[in-house]
Amino acid sequence: MRKLKITFMVGAIMAMAFTTTQAQDVDEIISTYLENIGGVDALKSLKGMKITAKVNQGGMEIPLDIYQMADGRQMTSISFQGMTIKQGVFDGETLWGTNFQTMKAEKSDSEATSNQKLDANDFPDALIDYKEKGYTAELLGKEDMDGSETFKVKLVKEPRMIDGVEVDDITYYYFDTEAFIPLAQESEINQGPQKGSIQQIKFSDYQEVDGLYFPFSMTQGIKDGMSQPIIIDAIELNPEVADADFAFPEE
């Protein structure tokens, strides 16, 4: 595993040496990135992943198990005091979560559910086959991200419905110009009191799991504001899951 990582690093540096001499185009950046994290074929053969992580909130460590499946199913299960609460669960049709007061499952609103369906084709990475999916990507130029030089890439996915109005779904990626992997990702918040603010997720601690590379540390927050780190302890590829885990529990 360590050997692989070194090879990868060397590969990244070599890629840099070869590519920085010429102008970058967005497809080169994306394809180099996908190659660097394990290659499109390997990524596409993934059936799902389970991310074991924790967040720290005011001294309280909250363990999370995040499931993401190739067919769009997903689930975050949170453990508190020996009990499990599920949030952001999607079985392909219904998006739901546990109500903290009643501990019972409740469905998300229909707009959120339809928008969730749009993400079903983005596993494990929205950038794979982005053109075939009808997305557009554009290189906006180079930008500094916390002292590192990055390529800023704009990805426009399927439009979403927000409060009854169709809006573009835009994500900005900041690819490190040496390693060709994203250091951060930004998007405009398009609903709620923070609407118009920029949400930012920073990535680091890229590590190899069965030949694929994933960031094992992410920090999410409002740009130039407060942020919340998430530490990933393990990533399991192609985990065993049961349909019942994702299904909305009918009482």
Under the rule (CB under 8 A), what is the footprint of other proteins? 5, 8-9, 56, 58-61, 79-83, 100-104, 140, 144-148, 154, 170, 172, 176, 179, 181, 183, 188, 193-198, 202, 204-207, 216-217, 219, 224, 226, 229-231
- Rounded to whole angstroms, the Cα distance separating 46 from 238 reads 6
Which residues touch 201 (CB under 8 Å, ≥6 apart)? 184, 185, 186, 218, 219, 220
Instruction: Identify the DSSP state of 1.
Output: -
Instruction: Identify the DSSP state of 192.
Output: S
* Closer to other proteins by Cβ: residue 22 or 81: 81
* Closer to other proteins by Cβ: residue 135 or 206: 206
Shortest Cβ distance from residue 120 to other proteins (Å)? Answer: 25
Shortest Cβ distance from residue 151 to other proteins (Å)? Answer: 14
Q: Is 137 left (phi over 0), alpha (psi -120 to 50) or beta?
A: beta
- Rounded to whole angstroms, the Cα distance separating 4 from 73 reads 31
* Closer to other proteins by Cβ: residue 147 or 243: 147
Phi, psi (deg, nearest 5) at residue 227: -140, 165
* Closer to other proteins by Cβ: residue 9 or 17: 9
* Closer to other proteins by Cβ: residue 41 or 61: 61
Shortest Cβ distance from residue 67 to other proteins (Å)? Answer: 20
Shortest Cβ distance from residue 57 to other proteins (Å)? Answer: 9
DSSP secondary structure letters along 117-154? HHGGGGSS-TTTTTTTTT-EEEEEEEEEETTEEEEEEE
Shortest Cβ distance from residue 226 to other proteins (Å)? Answer: 8
* Closer to other proteins by Cβ: residue 117 or 187: 187
* Closer to other proteins by Cβ: residue 94 or 148: 148
Shortest Cβ distance from residue 114 to other proteins (Å)? Answer: 21
The residue behind tokens 């982005």 is: 130
Asked if 38 and 235 count as a contact pair (C-beta separation under 8 A), the reply is no
- Rounded to whole angstroms, the Cα distance separating 105 from 109 reads 13
Going by C-alpha positions, the residue among 174, 186, 171, 128 that lies closest to residue 150 is 174
Shortest Cβ distance from residue 134 to other proteins (Å)? Answer: 18
